[in-house]
Each structure stands twice: as C-alpha cells, then as structure tokens.
Structure 1
Amino acid sequence: MQMEFTRKFNKEQSSNLLSQAIFKFLPYWPLFIGLIILGAGSAWVYLRFTTPLYETTATLLIKDEKKGAVESKTIESLDQLSSKKIIENEMEVIQSASLIHDVINQLHLYAPIYKKAEFKKISAYSTAPVQVQIEAPDDIEPIENIQFKFNRHDSSVVIDDKIYPVNTWISTTFGRIKFELNVSGKKEDGGEYSFSLIKPKSVISSIKQRLKVTTSNKMTSILNLSFIDEEPKRGEAILNELLLVYNKANVQDKNILADNTLKFIDERLKSVEQDLKGIEGKIQNYKSQQNAVDIGPQGRLFLENVSNNDQKLSDINMQLAVLGQVERYVNSSNNAIGVVPSTLGVSDPTLSKLVEKLYASELEYETLKKTTGENSPTLIAVVDRIEKIKPSIINNIQSQRGSLLATRENLSATNGMYTSVLRAIPEKERELIEINREQGIKNGIYSFLLQKKEETALSYASTVTDSRVIDKAQSSDKPVSPKKKIVYLSSVMIALLLGMGLILGRESLSRKVMFRYEIENLSELPIIGEIGIEASNDPIVISEGKKTFVAEQFRKLRMSLNYIGINSKHKKILVTSSISGEGKSFIATNLALSLALTNKKVILLDFDLNNPSITSSLNVHNEKGITEFLMGESDIHEIIQQTEHNPNLHIISTGNLPSNPTELIMNGKAEELISYLDSSFDYIIIDTAPVMPVTDAYVLSQLCDATLYVVRHNFTPKVFVERLDANNKINSLNNLAIVFNGVTARGIGGSGYGYGYGYGYIYDDRNSRKKLSYPGS
C-alpha cells in the first residue's frame, strides 16, 4: 500500500507541466520585463545603425531547346548562327565571373563612393556628384576611406587640399584615375564624401553572393534574377547592366563565328576563282589547237553523270578539311583563346555547338585569369569544363571522319566506273570532257561558296540575341533586411530565453534541493507537507488562534498524518533529517504543538543526544532527562515536564549529554520508556539526531509507527535525497515520509510563488483522492 500511495502521489504532482512552468518563471516577472526592455532597446539600436538592404528583381526569357520561347521562323531562318540554349547552362553563364567583371568595369563598382552620415556612412552611388574610374582596374591596390569634396563652381574634386579636374585622367598615389560627373548625382558644394578601391575579384565574390538566378518553374524558360543591395538604384543598375552584358556577349559570340566563316569563304572563293580562270584558258587553248572540237551526245551524258558524283566528292573533301581545321584548333588551343575555325559545310549541328561552347569557355578562362588566382575554384571549374569539352569534340570529329572516308571511297569507286565508259569516246573529245569535268567541279564549289557567303552575310546582318528582357530591374519599396517585426520579436524571444536560462542556471543547476519536483525525481517516498519560513524567526509558530501562513501549513501537515497511518492506535512519530540544520527540531516542536491544540495529550521527546535544541525553544529545564532515565538514575515521572505553551503538551528533555548516546539508546530502556508513554499519551513525537552522523534514528525508528524525514530548501544536498531510497533498504526507517521545510517565496523581492508545487492529491485508505493545496506556493 505504501508503494502504491507513493506512485499515485508523485504522479499526480508532476502531471501539469504548464502549471510547473508558470510556477517556475512567473515569480521572476520583473526580471523578464527588464530583459525585454533591454532587448527591445538593443533591437532599436541595431535597427538604427544597421544599413537596410533592398531586393532588386528582373525577368529574362531564354530560348530553350527543350521548352517554349521559340522565336519566329523568319528570323530563325535568317539567323543561321543561332543556337538554342539550355536553361540550366544560361543560369550559370549569367552568374559567371566574366560577365560580372564586365559589369563591374562598366559601372565602376571597384570604387564605391560613400557619404558620411550620423554615426555611419551610407552608399552614394546615385547621389554623389562624381564617379571614380580607374585606368587599370585589375591592378588595383586596395585602399579605404579616401576623403574628398566636390566644388560645384569649377567642377573639381578636392583631396587633401589638392584640386583635381573632372573628366580628365590624372596620376595619383593610388594610380591613374578619372573623376567623371555623375549624371544623376547632386552637384552641391561641400558634403563629405569618400571612396575606396577594391580588387575586382573581391567585388565579383560579393556580387555573386548576393545574386540569385532561378526559374519560374520547370516547364518554362523564364529566369528570375534577384539582387540584394543597400542602395536600390545601384541594385537596379547592376541587374540591368548584367542583362545588357549577357545579351551583348550572346550576339558577340555569334558575330565572331560569322566573321570567321566569312573570312574562310572569301579565302576559298579567291582560290577557286583563280582555278576557274586557269581552266577556262585551258579549254580555249585546247579548242584552238584541236580546231574547235566539241563534245558529242555520249560525252555530254557522261559529263552530266560524273559531275553529280564529283560534286559529292567535293563536298566530302571540304567537310574533311573543315574537320581537320577544327581538330588542329582543339589540339593546339591549350585553354588559350584563338581564331575560332568555321564549321561551314559540316552537317552535324552537335559539332558546331561543341565548338561554340569551347570558345565561350576559353573566353571566360581568359577573363578569369586576369581577376583571380590560378588556384581559384571558379578558374579550376572552367578548366575542368574545357577539358571535358575537348574529348567530346575529338570523338565527334573521328566519328564523322570515318563516315566521310567510307562515303568518299564509294564515290571514288563510282567514278572509276564512269572512267571506264570514257575510254570508249574518241581521244580528242575525251580530253575535252576531262577539262570540262574539272571546270564543272570548280563551278559547283564556287556556287556553293557564294550561296554560303550570302547566307552568312544575312545571318550576320540579322543577328539577334537568344534572350529577351521581360521586366527590367525594379527594387522593392521596403527593405528586405533587417525586418523590424522579426528583429523586435527575436529580441523578446532572446530576452525570455535568457531569463529562463538565468533562472534555471541559478535554481536547477544548484547542488542543493530547490524544488519539490526535484525530491520527487530523486526519491519515490511521499512528500506529505511543505513548511515555509516564519518572518519573525520565532521557533514556536503554533498557538491557540494563530492563523499565520506557516501555522496553517502545520495544520495541513497534521491532517496529512492520517494518510501515512497515524491514528489512535499508531501514534508514535519519529522526526529526523540528513544533516544538522535542516529544521527537524522545529518541525517536531511545532507539529507537537499543533496536535496538542486538538485537545490531545502529546509528549515530545528530545532524543537528539548529540545536539539538542528543543529545551531552549520551549523554555524548560534540562537537569534531568532522557540520559538520566536510560542510565537508570531517574524514573519516568521525574523527567516528564509540562510546557507553558499548552497544557496538553509535555516534554522530556535530553538531560546531560552522554559520551556514548547510541549504545545508551540500545540498552533496552528506550523501549521501556516509549512503551510506557504509549499507554499514557495520545501522540508521541520523537526528535532524534540526523541520520548522516549517527545511527540513532534507525534504532528509534523501529519503535515508532512513522518517520518524518525533513528536507530543507536550498540546504539539503541533492545527493542525500538521491541515496535515501537505497540507504533505507539497508537501514530501514519505518513508514518513511518527507517534509519539505524552509520553502521560501521565489522571484524578485520574494513576492512570487514558492518552491513547492502549490497543490497535489492525497489518498485515503479507500483509494479515493482529495485535492490538497500545499502552502508555500
């Protein structure tokens, strides 16, 4: 029954976590209010001195080969150099260091200008009267906070009392620079400005961190660009310039290929034209020498058939020549940019795309090499990309070359058949046919080159970008960071968490028992009462008609004795504790007085033969007492005294302190004394020594019906309570229950809830429960 009561009692006390939290932290509300005010003040200071950031967005439509966004067929047919884009690749291109580097140089972002404001400096990109341009941005030596002023009257800049004209290159200690008038800036005298010089690669890294490129969804080829910057106008300028540079690079790539193709065609046309002139002269000379020999019907038929075959052979030879040219470019490029070979005449579009990718990657490599180190992850990634493209091109060339050589062999065999037919034709006519055949081949090549030149010229003239800006850059009206609501809310949350941490650190991390639930977690024994601190420090807190808070707590403790089996037949109660100073004598004395107030005859025994204190508390003499009775020097009637506090309360003091109290208690006289008192009194309260120094309590507990074990708030070490259950199994204390003593008010000023739970449940013999509101809460 004892264990069942214990489990139910403790389980009910731990059920309401919310109540526990309120109980734990609410008493410290002034601390939380102070921390919240401090946190809100810190948040205000943070918002006051933190530069707000704005988000700029833009939208770009890309012509993707897997998605929509296909331009009109007319434009597409004219733009022979167009190559549809893969959206994922273009996302990387837009964020590439090479494009961002061009944006930085165009907008002079390597030399940001600031204006001095209260306690901080703010960006003056759009408001400064001038912009700073560096002649060699890639050679910049970083320098910060170069102060200058603008003179509106003569449009000059003053640095360290030196006057510099605008729109003119000047030599300074930090390089050759030029101050350009800012079209949108304020042309006002005075005003303290400053500029810094930053290496482009550092600016590239900063921009890439704040630039985000995403797609609307997987089914579209629309890119959403967003950029975070402290100045909205600068953010818009960066995004707009980035889109412009991207489109220019797209067109430039096409134009480079077109230029190389036209150059190749012109060179071939000159060569074929010279060959044709030579052949025409050869025909004229042959006819003159042979007296105007003409080709007969059989010769014309042969010439017609063989011309088609020769044209095919010519096309194949041209493709093989182009493949050889591309192969030499790939093998000799070594990541360095060169003259891109034309892929004119090659029927496989994959090769053209691979060559275009290789050129774009080499161009990016050349740009990055100027702005980043050799071990830069970005540069290494570009080199890896180039090394992956090259084998793909070589494999493609080898595959096409094998196919073309096989086709050429078949065509050559066909030509052999035609040649055998030619032997049947008269010799003079046959020679003329050979000359005309050669002329036909050259004419075919010439016509083909003229056609391709016209197509390339049209494509060059109608070159359009493979993207279109849907929405130009536009900045948000309100800053995206810091957000006031989130900052203030975070400051409040941090204040609350800090307050909780301080309280938990002070109370929960203490090695002493602070809370009732700590006792319940450490021991399975029931807690039948909580006793607070009496403000008067009077050891006697119980008297007739007294209704103080602590007096009511003792009355509730008295009531709780019924639930550990104390009644008219079982009335002997032992009071002990772990160590001295926990208030066991205080509990024993006032519990005895509380029982005496019920018109019950109560006797209090001061069995603490090591350090007695009850005698002085109740103002009784100590000439004879328990020691004298145990030694056989006095009888029972001589040692029983009546107290002046209540006629129903009697006391037996310790008497003179013995040298061997434990042996004295075990001599059998203690059983005789308690047996006699059991027949004469309604309640027997025994105050004994703490269990840690001596074993007196274990001996006397066997003579009693219940043992009250006193645990004092912020005094009793937790380890003693933790060992209580295990020790009690070895040296049993009869019918053991805990009284939580010294429970103080919690919180700032001691006006909050106490360290107990405030309420719990107790069980009677019929297992029905009654709500028990414990004091100290």
Structure 2
Amino acid sequence: MQPNILESEQPQDNLLRPLLLKYLSYWPLFLVLLILCGAGALLYLQFKVPVYELKATIIIKDEQKGMDDSKMIESLDVFSSKKLVENEIEVIKSQTLAQEVVRKLHLYAPVSEKGRFTDRSAYIASPVQIVAKYPDSIEAVNKVNFTYNAGKQQVVINHTAYPLLQWVNSPYGVLKFMPNPNYGHQPSRTANTLYFSLVPVEYVADDLVATLEVSASNKLSTVVNISFKDELPQRGKAIVNELIAAYNRAAVVEKNILAANTLAFVQNRLQYVVQELDSVETNLQHFKTQNKIVDIDAQGKQFLQNVGENDQKIGDLNMQLAVLDQVENYVLGKGGKGSIVPSTFGITDPVLSNLLEKLYNTELEYEKVKKIAPENNPILVSITDQISKIKPGILDNIKSQRKGLIAGKRDLETTNGKYTSMLSSIPSKERKLLEISRQQSIKNNIYTFLLQKREEAAISYASAVANSRLVDSAIASKYPVSPNKLTIYLIALVVAVGSGATYIEVKGFLNTNISSRNEIEKYTSVPIVGELVKSDFKTPVVVSEDASSLIAEEFRQLRTALGYLGINARKKRLLITSSISAEGKSFVAVNLAMSLALANKKVALVDIDLRRPALASMLNMAETEGISQYLKGEKEIEAIIKRTEYSPNLFLIPSGPATNNPSELLLNGKIEDLFTYLAGAFEYIIIDTSPMNPVTDASILSPLCDATLYIIRQSITPRMFVQKLDKYSRVKNLKNIAIVLNGVNTKGFNRYNNGYSYGYSYVENKKNIIIKGLGKIV
C-alpha cells in the first residue's frame, strides 16, 4: 500500500484514539442521552419508596458452639435441650413463626394512603388498624376505601359506620377496628384517602420470609444475625422484635410440653404407689389391733432387719428390672405411637443413662424438625439414621443389665430363704408383722422418691426459659439501603453511554457509505492528498482573496499538494471525478481553481460534465456557449472561453447545451485539440467531468490528463466504490490518481481538535455547535 501524501502531517493514531474520536464526534447524542437518563434516574429516586434495613442479634444456647450461660438454672432444669445453630436458623425462617408474626401484628390487613403519584403505607399515618377475627380464613380483598370519624369513634365504609373496639360483620368478614398504637409518630396526613386490603396470612408470611435473612455470625459461635428490609423502620422493628419473641415463646412452649409429660408420668406412678402404701398401712394397723402387738423380740428384730435389707435390695432390683422393661418396650416401640417417654429413675449405669438421654434428645429434635420440614428432608433422614444407630446399643446394654440384676436378685432371694427359715422359729404373728412392716418400708421409700422427682419436674416446668438470649434488639439503618443513589446514577450513566455506543455501532453497521479517513485507508492504496471540512457557506465559492476560514485554508493546502502529483508548468491537466453525483467534485474543482487563480496562476476551469453541468451556475454564469457546441463543430475554442467575475486569472469553459451522446462526442478527437490549445494559453487546466459510475467519460479523459483527483464524500460515497478504486485505477487507466476526502464533519472532536482550526472564522461558538449537533440528532 502506498503511503498517503499527507500522512506525515498527522500524528499516528493508537488503537484507542480512533474509537474515542469516533464516539466523541457524537457528543451531542451522548449529551442528550445523559440528560434523559439522568432525568429518568432523578424521577425514579423521587418516586421510589426508600427501603431501610433492620438488624438484630441473638445468642443460641448450644453446648457445641460458643458459651452457654444457662448454668444458673441448670441444676433445676433436668430437661435442658441443646440446640444446633443451623437448625434454629431454619426454625426462625420457618413459615410457622412468620405466620404467627403476621397474626400478632395484623399484617394481613395493611392500611395505605393514596398519594399524588404513588400510594404509600399508612402504618403510622392511619388512626385505626384492622383486626380479623378469623385471620386464617380471610380471602383476598383489594383497596377498600374508608374514612375515620374521630368524634364519633367510627369507621365509615361505603356509607356504613362501624364502631371501634367491637367485632362487626362486614362484607369482608368479621372485623374489629382498633386505635392504631403507632399513630402519631409523624405529622398526620389523614387528609389523603385511606384504604385497607386483606391478604391471606400465608401470602404475607411468604413475603416476610423472602425478605428475611438469618445467618450465623461465624462457625465457632452461636451468635445469629437477623436482617430484615422494610419501607417503614417502625414496622420493620416491630416485625423483627416480634419474630424473636415468637421464637422464644415457641422454645418455652416446647420445653413446657416435655416437662408436663414427665409430670403426668410421675403423677400416675404416685397415685398407684399411694394406693399400695395405704393398703399396706391399713393391713399393718389391722394386724396390730387384732393381735395386740406392741414390740418385737430383739432376735426377731435382727432377723427382720436382715431380711428387710435384702428385701429392699430385691425391691430395688425389681424396680430397676421394671424400668428396664419399660425402656425396652419404648425402644422397641411397643408402647404405640405417641406413648409417654418412660422414666429413667433408678437406672444407675452411666452408659445406659447417656444413651437414653441421647435417644430422647434425638427423638425430640426429630419431632421438632418434622413440624417444619417434609419427611424426605435430609435433616430428618439424618436424625432417623442417628436414632437407628442408638437403639441397638441401648438394647444390648439393657440385656446386659437385666442379666446382672437377675443374678443379684437370685442371690438375695437365696439369702432371704435362709433368713426365712430362721424366722420359722419365731411365732407366726411376729413373722407376719415383720412382713407387713417390710412392705410398708418399701412402698414408703418409693413414694418419697417419686415425690422428690415430681418437685424437680415442677421446678423445671415453672423455670423454663428460652434457648436464646437477645443481644441487640432491632435497629434501623440511618440511611435507606435501597434505592442506592450512586448505583442508580451509575446505571443511568451506563445506559446513556451504552445506548449511545450501541446506536453508533448499529448505525455504522447498517451504513454502507464511507465514514472516515481510516476507512478509506483500509480499503484502498490510493493516496489521500487532502481533506475538506463540510462547508456551511451558502455560496459554493468559499475561497477568496481575504477568506480566512478553515475550508479556504484547506484548499490552499490542496493547492500545495498538487506538486506531489506532478502538476506544474509542464504537466498542468488535472482531472476531477468521483464515484457518484453529490460528492462535491464540482465544488472542489471551482474552489481549487479559485485558489490557484489567487496565487496569480492563469487557470482554465473546464466543465466536461456534459450530462449534469454545474460550474456555470456555481460561478453565476449563463450556460450559453460551451464544449458541447465546440465538439459538434458549432463553435470555435476562443468563443467558449469565458472570463469569470471572481478573478481575472480564472476562466471557465462551460459545458454548453445538453446533448444525447456525450461519450461519442468525447471520442471525436476534438477534445485533444482543446486541451492542446488550453495548455498553451493557461498555467493550470482543471477539468470537471462526470462521475465514474455509471458512465465512461472520466475513463476517456484520464489518458489526456496528467493527474486525477478522485473525490470521496464522507457519509455519501458508497463503500463498495472505494473498495474497487484500486481496480479502477488500473482497468480504467486513471492516471496518477489521488483522493480528496470532502465533507468531513467537524462536530465533536476530530483531527482538528489539536488547535489546527485556531484563529479561523469558520470555527463556530459552542452555542451554535450544540444547536447544530442537536439538530442533526433530531
């Protein structure tokens, strides 16, 4: 590719500079988009309801993580349960707790006020709140307008008055209108229309859970962070605090249920033991009265004492065996679904006690998770596996314990047999008395033991505390977390720049015309000898003796560049053509000729565009006599050479009247005579001919000329012709061809932004640039 003749006059562009200049040339478009997107962002922020974030912190009491501060009551609470933080987080986020909060705060009946552009919640602006008697059965109702009569303490709906603090039958269900405890926290806006809606509890709970975030502070602690977002900080605080309270209530209720079940079990056992004890004491009293027994012989006392001790041991063993049977039946599931958890009192083996406690806690955890999760939940499956692994160990331990207890019982019974044989020598009355007393002692010990355990269970029931401790109650953020002004404005900026860039790229993709100098250099090796800015002058002649405009200076540069093409005193014929019409070839021909004439050069401007002549009208001259008549032999050369009014050195040879066969006329040989004559009379010959497409006039004339200026106009010349320019220069014999880029748009920042245009009157003030730029966009 040949180097461009003017390339040394321009700095080398880096990869980013052409793209930047391309976009900056559309600065009015970006300005409009920035204004529109900025206004849109401002309106969005104006009407978007701000959202605040509420945060609270609690500590879950868990023996596996962090510190458990329940030691103060640990000695009394025999049913203290240890919670896994992960499970408790799921409980806090459960629908069950969320629905309880919705019912407690009456969130199923939101009150709103109509605004000018958007409605807002009237949580603190409404003097009343609506309570449904059966919230779980309400149906969705949308926007029920009402008014509040403060004097009569009434709510009016559709001309029907309803009193406050009373259950009333309304078209929307059984409702109660109550004074709003939150009313008055801000200036009253009750002048606006108020309305309420009814939303099913589960729907409101779904929205609440979706906005709620619960997470552990870290893996090594039991601190749980609760976060909630709401438009109203007061309502958000109430929701978070009530959620924590509901969670604590649920934990206390669960512990109380366990304690109540244990109390019922102990009470049932007490009733049975009391009956047996009463029966034994009655028999003892009746026996002593009937047999008039007051004291027992010392020997009998000794035997009785030994037998009594053994019997007590046997009783303990029997009780332990009975407890083992109950535990075994419970583990094997023989008690049936929902059976009472058996007591482990009397079990002295620490291994079995630990296994049973682990089983009870695991089953309790299973029941709790089952309430909030489906049966195929991975947590339930995991807990079930744990239960299945614990039970075999318990059964093996029971078997071993039973074997040892039976052996011990057998030994005691053998020993008692010996004592019994010794007692045979004691009178039967005394022996009978000893047996009754022994039964009384056994029953009394059991009774005392059960009384003690009942009191312990009652204390645990009364002292049940929640499994969490509040660290920080709900605190609202000082500033809204949504919408974020910076983010919105950044989005507006990205949208403005992105949409502008997209428009430019799509426009460039769909545009089939040449848009820049770089594009010309990409498609052809023909050198570029000049660039001409787009002219806003009303007259086609922009070059004059006192002209100081930018485009006039560019024509002077083009005049200088002719030397690079070899145009001089010996080679003076310069052909000017283009691809299609409207590319400004005649404009370039007139002003280039004028520039040469002002340099005191005698110039002949020849209009050989026999199809659409334009030079005469551009120079304010009539199309009377011209080349077409000369080529037909109707006029002599001297008759068609006209002096112009613009310069004494500028002469025009007009095209003359239109003809039907211009190509044939150009081939009759007379055009060579014309050029020879003009070469002897003028220093420069500027020839304006028809465009290359679709006629052949330029191809006919080019061999007769010394150089060719090919005019390309920005945004007008189709790209396909530039791509074929190298081929044209060879096939159509365009001699010494060079390109002039015409109509370069000066909007924005282009190659003239380096101060090149400083001092020229063509440079417009900023106001005109902006107005014209906006006008082009429209």
| TM-score bucket (shorter structure) | 0.7 to 0.9
Per-residue CA deviation, residues 55-105 of structure 1 (Å, 9 max, x unaligned), is 333222222444323114232343332333333332222222111111111
Which residue of 2 is the match for residue 162 of structure 1? 160
Query: CA separation in 2, counterparts of 1:97 and 1:531?
Result: 74
What is the correspondence of 1:436-447 to structure 2 with a 5 Å cutoff?
none
Query: CA separation in 1, counterparts of 2:181 and 2:71?
Result: 42
Helix, strand or coil at the partner of 1:262: helix
**Which has the higher mean CA deviation after the structures are superposed, 497-506 or 51-60?**
497-506
Task: Give the counterpart of 1:110 among 105, 108, 111.
Answer: 108
Please tell me whether residue 383 in structure 1 is matched to residue 390 in structure 2: no
Query: CA separation in 1, counterparts of 2:46 and 2:208?
Result: 25
Amino acid at match of 1:249: A
Residues 329, 335 of structure 2: 8 Å contact kept:
no
Query: CA separation in 2, counterparts of 1:773 and 1:13?
Result: 25
Please tell me whether residue 406 in structure 1 is matched to residue 396 in structure 2: yes
**Which has the higher mean CA deviation after the structures are superposed, 648-657 or 465-474?**
648-657
| Cα drift, residue 110 of structure 1 | 1.1
**Which has the higher mean CA deviation after the structures are superposed, 696-705 or 202-211?**
696-705
| Cα drift, residue 610 of structure 1 | 3.6
Helix, strand or coil at the partner of 1:383: coil
Query: CA separation in 2, counterparts of 1:133 and 1:513?
Result: 73
Which residue of 2 is the match for residue 71 of structure 1? 69
Runs of 5+ in structure 2 lacking a partner?
292-296, 346-352, 424-434, 765-778
Please tell me whether residue 475 in structure 1 is matched to residue 476 in structure 2: yes
What is the correspondence of 1:604-619 to structure 2 with a 5 Å cutoff?
604-617=605-618, 619=621
Amino acid at match of 2:531: E
Helix, strand or coil at the partner of 2:165: coil
Which residue of 2 is the match for residue 148 of structure 1? 146
Per-residue CA deviation, residues 7-26 of structure 1 (Å, 9 max, x unaligned), is 87888357635872685144
Which residue of 2 is the match for residue 712 of structure 1? 713
Residues 603, 684 of structure 1: 8 Å contact kept:
yes
Which residue of 1 is the match for residue 594 of structure 2? 593
| Cα drift, residue 690 of structure 1 | 1.1
Residues 166, 179 of structure 1: 8 Å contact kept:
yes
Q: Aligned residues: percent identity? A: 38
Residues 310, 441 of structure 1: 8 Å contact kept:
no
Which residue of 2 is the match for residue 193 of structure 1? 194
Residues 241, 473 of structure 2: 8 Å contact kept:
yes
Query: CA separation in 2, counterparts of 1:41 and 1:199?
Result: 39
Summarize the Cα distance change of 1:175–1:656 in structure 2 as closer, same or farther, 3 Å threshold: closer
Which residue of 2 is the match for residue 742 of structure 1? 743
Task: Give the counterpart of 1:758 among 727, 732, 752.
Answer: 752
Residues 531, 776 of structure 1: 8 Å contact kept:
no
Amino acid at match of 2:236: G
Query: CA separation in 1, counterparts of 2:667 and 2:439?
Result: 139
Per-residue CA deviation, residues 576-601 of structure 1 (Å, 9 max, x unaligned), is 11112222122122212212332334
Which residue of 1 is the match for residue 51 of structure 2? 53
Amino acid at match of 2:607: D
**Which has the higher mean CA deviation after the structures are superposed, 421-430 or 136-145?**
421-430
Helix, strand or coil at the partner of 1:254: helix
What is the correspondence of 1:497-516 to structure 2 with a 5 Å cutoff?
510-513=511-514, 516=517
Summarize the Cα distance change of 1:10–1:693 in structure 2 as closer, same or farther, 3 Å threshold: farther
Which residue of 2 is the match for residue 256 of structure 1? 257
Residues 39, 491 of structure 1: 8 Å contact kept:
yes
Query: CA separation in 1, counterparts of 2:546 and 2:707?
Result: 28
What is the correspondence of 1:164-313 to structure 2 with a 5 Å cutoff?
164-185=162-183, 193-271=194-272, 313=321
Per-residue CA deviation, residues 199-241 of structure 1 (Å, 9 max, x unaligned), is 1122112222333334444444333333332333222221221
Amino acid at match of 1:400: I
Which residue of 1 is the match for residue 326 of structure 2? 318
Please tell me whether residue 347 in structure 1 is matched to residue 354 in structure 2: yes
Amino acid at match of 1:2: Q
Summarize the Cα distance change of 1:656–1:65 in structure 2 as closer, same or farther, 3 Å threshold: same
Query: CA separation in 1, counterparts of 2:565 and 2:411?
Result: 131
Helix, strand or coil at the partner of 1:195: strand
Runs of 5+ in structure 1 lacking a partner?
330-337, 365-381, 747-752, 763-770
| Cα drift, residue 140 of structure 1 | 0.9
Query: CA separation in 1, counterparts of 2:494 and 2:336?
Result: 67
**Which has the higher mean CA deviation after the structures are superposed, 142-151 or 523-532?**
523-532
Amino acid at match of 1:150: Y
**Which has the higher mean CA deviation after the structures are superposed, 605-614 or 455-464?**
605-614
State TM-score, norm by structure 2.
Answer: 0.76
Amino acid at match of 2:107: L
| Cα drift, residue 512 of structure 1 | 4.5
Amino acid at match of 1:208: V
**Which has the higher mean CA deviation after the structures are superposed, 52-61 or 672-681?**
672-681
Per-residue CA deviation, residues 247-287 of structure 1 (Å, 9 max, x unaligned), is 11111111111112222333344456667788999999999
Summarize the Cα distance change of 1:299–1:740 in structure 2 as closer, same or farther, 3 Å threshold: same
Which residue of 2 is the match for residue 464 of structure 1? 465
Residues 125, 189 of structure 2: 8 Å contact kept:
no
Please tell me whether residue 80 in structure 1 is matched to residue 81 in structure 2: no
| Cα drift, residue 758 of structure 1 | 1.9
Query: CA separation in 1, counterparts of 2:446 and 2:704?
Result: 127
Task: Give the counterpart of 1:101 among 78, 99, 102.
Answer: 99
Query: CA separation in 2, counterparts of 1:136 and 1:700?
Result: 100
Helix, strand or coil at the partner of 2:553: helix
Query: CA separation in 1, counterparts of 2:629 and 2:189?
Result: 103
Amino acid at match of 2:695: V
Helix, strand or coil at the partner of 1:144: strand
Amino acid at match of 1:688: T
Amino acid at match of 1:52: P
| Cα drift, residue 470 of structure 1 | 1.8
Which residue of 1 is the match for residue 368 of structure 2? 360
Query: CA separation in 2, counterparts of 1:247 and 1:570?
Result: 104
Summarize the Cα distance change of 1:520–1:466 in structure 2 as closer, same or farther, 3 Å threshold: farther
Helix, strand or coil at the partner of 2:558: helix
Which residue of 2 is the match for residue 334 of structure 1? none
Query: CA separation in 2, counterparts of 1:94 and 1:193?
Result: 33
**Which has the higher mean CA deviation after the structures are superposed, 585-594 or 294-303?**
294-303
Amino acid at match of 2:259: A
Query: CA separation in 2, counterparts of 1:7 and 1:311?
Result: 111
Amino acid at match of 1:80: V
Helix, strand or coil at the partner of 1:264: helix
Summarize the Cα distance change of 1:153–1:739 in structure 2 as closer, same or farther, 3 Å threshold: same
Please tell me whether residue 131 in structure 1 is matched to residue 129 in structure 2: yes
What is the correspondence of 1:654-733 to structure 2 with a 5 Å cutoff?
654=655, 661-662=662-663, 682-701=683-702, 704-724=705-725, 733=734
